[in-house]
Amino acid sequence: MNGFLSIRNLTVRLKNGSPILRSVSLDVAAGQVHGLVGESGAGKSMIGKAVLGTLPRALSVTGGEIWLDGTNLMSLSPTERRRRIGATAALIPQDPLTALNPSKRIGPQITRRLVDILGWSRQDAQDRALELLGEVHIPDPARVMRNYPHELSGGMRQRILIASAFAAEPRLIIADEPTTALDVTVQKQILRLIADMQTRHGTALLFVTHDLGVVSKVCDTLSVLYAGKVVEDARMHRFFMRPIHPYSAALLAATPTYTDPTGSLTPVSQAVIDGVEAEVAQHDARRAQ
Amino acid sequence: MRDARGDMRRPVGLRLWLSGGWLTLLVAGAIFAPWIAPKDPLMQDLFLGRLPPFWESGTEPGFWLGTDSLGRDVLSRMLYGARLALVVALVAGTLTCIIGAALGLIAGYYRGWPDRIISRFVDIWMAFPPVLFAILLIAVLGPGLWSIIIAIVVIDWTRFARVIRAEAMTQGAMDYVASAQVAGRKRFGTMLTEILPNVLPTIVVLLTLEMGIAVIVEAILSFVNLSISTDSPTWGGMIAEGRTSVHQAWWVLVFPLIALFLTVLSFSQLGEGLKDRFDPVLR
Ligand SMILES: Nc1ncnc2c1ncn2[C@@H]1O[C@H](COP(=O)(O)OP(=O)(O)OP(=O)(O)O)[C@@H](O)[C@H]1O
Ligand SMILES: [Mg+2]
């Protein structure tokens, strides 16, 4: 095992048997940022959900291991697993609109983790929440604590979710496309904020995105996911210098921010996609035997 | 997406005032009936039969809304009738709500086998024609206050169960529920602290609607004489009696009808009004 989070041969299937994740392995080292890229529907979110134990009901883990801080989560009882995950990991979700409970004020939604998981007193939790809201640059934190989610903008909500994710000092944070639901001007600030917070708190971060430009800025290592399968697993500079897998190369060529921002986009060609499809099919055939 | 920033508090609407006002009046009237009813609601006096309401000629003092063919005071009977109507509304409405909403919440949030069992049960239940079901039940249980209440609960819990199940399902799929679980919350706790507050506005609307329905059902059952013993006054019973003499004494029919109408309308309006106040997103 060489990561704080180590996923080994994780397979997730729909209840009817069709695979969503095919024997996925990846590592997130302690205090490092690991990017997880891939197109929409590749299964990026499902990796995060499998780790956190929040897979949709239609899906279940049918094989593999998830090691978190030296313990295989799959070998724990559901209660023990939930306790362990709660104490170690947190999520920055994709959609700040549905990630806060609309009928509760912001304050209790942040302090809940501290009171529930760390057993802090309400007053201590309150103080810590105020401090955190300041840290994510929220003006007038005391007032915001009393607001309902719908009274705040998307960017504010995402800052609150970041504060809330870091609140209990988790050692792993999974950020699932934390900026896609925001408008472009806010995206940059939020990205910087997450990177800053990660550095300051020394948290391991699994950063899910489909934007290679973003990955190049914040990640140390990355995995490329295609159709539920990891097709490339690399350190950043090696990946950008010399992608091994044809899909990665094509993806890179299709990213304007990294190569030539003024140049025209090269969409991932059908030939490459066909190639990957064939490979995935081969893989399935091997497993079926 | 709704974007109601800041404190855009809506004023308490007219309908909340009107419906709340009528219901308050009714509750007060029902509670204090023994003290404020001008006459004994059961006292017959054939010499005072079919007296018109106070603004017409040929009335006797104290019989504000006239008398029925047996000389009983309409207003006093309506006040006592309100007692039964409100008791049925409160008890039947609340019981129906608790049972239906609890089952709906469990089915919608837990899904899986609890959902399969509850949903199948609801489907089968709803296949029975409700009125037939009610009459059958009362026939078996015998007329009486509790029979009416049980009949209402038994028939209407499915409405709550279905609506709340759908709402709980929608809420359960939201990210904030997953976050609560990642934070180490137990599933049952999550259901009560995360899901329930968000389906509460819907529960309130359904509950008040149900109270209105309970009032109607009670009236219908008294109308067909399946309610409680015939000598205690009920709106449905008064309507039934008034119907036979509508050409000679319209007031015996019309006043209880108006009361019934206003009460049912008020309950539903109260629900809508409260929902607006309850729902943080709409508030
Ligand atoms: N509740 C569900 N029931 C059935 N299939 C699902 C469910 N949720 C997701 N899937 C399937 O799982 C696959 C992976 O979905 P996932 O959400 O992980 O994609 P993603 O890589 O996160 O995409 P995006 O960039 O759009 O968020 C998709 O093909 C999707 O159809
Ligand atoms: Mg996703």
**What DSSP assignment string belongs to B160-177?**
HHHHHHHHHHHHHTSHHH
Is the minimum distance from the CB of A50 to ligand 1 under 6 angstroms? no
Interface contact B173, partner A, CB < 8 A? yes
Any domain includes B258:
yes
Tokens of B16: 């909340």
- The Cα-based distances of B46 to B66, B68, B69, B72, B120 in angstroms read 13, 9, 7, 9, 57
Any domain includes B51:
no
In this prediction, residue B7 carries a pLDDT of 41
To the nearest whole angstrom, how far is the Cα of B171 from the nearest Cα of chain A? Answer: 9
In this prediction, residue B173 carries a pLDDT of 87
3-class secondary structure, A208: strand
Q: Which atom of ligand 1 is nearest the CA belonging to A57?
A: 1
CA distance B106 to B99: 11
3-class secondary structure, B70: coil
CA distance B38 to B126: 45
Chain A partners within 8 Å of B203 (Cβ): none
Any domain includes B43:
no
CA distance B28 to B22: 10
What is the CATH topology of the domain spanning A5-288?
Rossmann fold (3.40.50)
Q: One digit per residue, pLDDT tens: chain A, 289 residues?
A: 578 999 999 999 998 889 999 999 999 999 999 999 988 889 999 999 999 988 888 899 999 999 999 999 999 998 888 888 988 999 998 888 889 999 899 999 999 878 877 888 999 999 999 999 999 999 999 999 999 999 999 889 999 999 999 988 899 999 999 988 888 888 888 999 999 999 999 999 999 988 888 888 889 999 999 888 998 887 777 777 777 777 777 777 776 654 444 545 566 667 667 777 777 677 666 656 5
Dihedral of the alpha carbons of A167, A169, A175, A178, in degrees to the nearest 10 = 30
User: A97 and B1 in contact by Cβ < 8 A?
Assistant: yes
In this prediction, residue A259 carries a pLDDT of 47
Interface probe with A: pick from B182, B279, B281, most Cβ of A within 10 Å: B182
Q: One digit per residue, pLDDT tens: chain B, 283 residues?
A: 344 443 445 556 788 889 999 999 999 999 998 898 887 888 877 777 777 787 777 777 777 788 887 878 889 899 999 998 999 999 999 999 999 999 999 999 998 899 999 999 999 988 888 778 877 888 888 878 888 899 889 888 999 999 999 999 999 988 888 888 877 777 888 899 889 999 998 999 999 999 999 999 888 888 877 766 656 788 888 888 888 887 888 888 899 999 999 999 999 899 888 877 777 665 4
Is the minimum distance from the CB of A38 to ligand 1 under 6 angstroms? yes
Any domain includes B140:
yes
Chain A partners within 8 Å of B197 (Cβ): 101, 103-104
Is the minimum distance from the CB of A14 to ligand 1 under 6 angstroms? yes
Which of B 199-258 lie inside 8 A of A, CB atoms? 200
Q: Using the mean position of ligand 1's atoms as its centre, give its distance from the Cα of residue A43 in Å.
A: 5
In this prediction, residue B53 carries a pLDDT of 80
By CB neighbour count within 10 A (0-12 exposed, 13-18 middle, 19+ buried), where does A286 fall? exposed
Domain hosting residue B127, numbered range: 15-27+66-278
Tokens of B37: 């009813």
Number of domains in chain B: 1
CA distance A131 to A91: 20
User: B178 and A87 in contact by Cβ < 8 A?
Assistant: no
B13 contact partners, CB below 8 Å, separation of at least 6? B273, B276
In this prediction, residue B45 carries a pLDDT of 79
CATH classification of the domain holding B202: 1.10.3720.10
To the nearest whole angstrom, how far is the Cα of B128 from the nearest Cα of chain A? Answer: 32
For residue A61, give the H/E element and its range: strand A59-68
Instruction: Please report which ligand is nearest the Cα atom of A49.
Output: 1
pTM of the model: 0.79
Find the CB nearest B4 among A93, A116, A150: A150
Backbone angles phi, psi at A218, to 5 degrees: -110, -15
Any domain includes B56:
no
Structural domain spans, chain A: 5-288
3-class secondary structure, A235: strand
A24 contact partners, CB below 8 Å, separation of at least 6? A7, A9, A10, A11, A43, A47, A64, A225, A228, A229, A230
Any domain includes B133:
yes
In this prediction, residue B1 carries a pLDDT of 38
Helices (H), chain A: 44-52, 78-88, 106-118, 122-135, 141-145, 154-167, 184-201, 212-218, 236-241, 246-253, 270-288
Any domain includes B46:
no
Any domain includes B132:
yes
In this prediction, residue B181 carries a pLDDT of 80
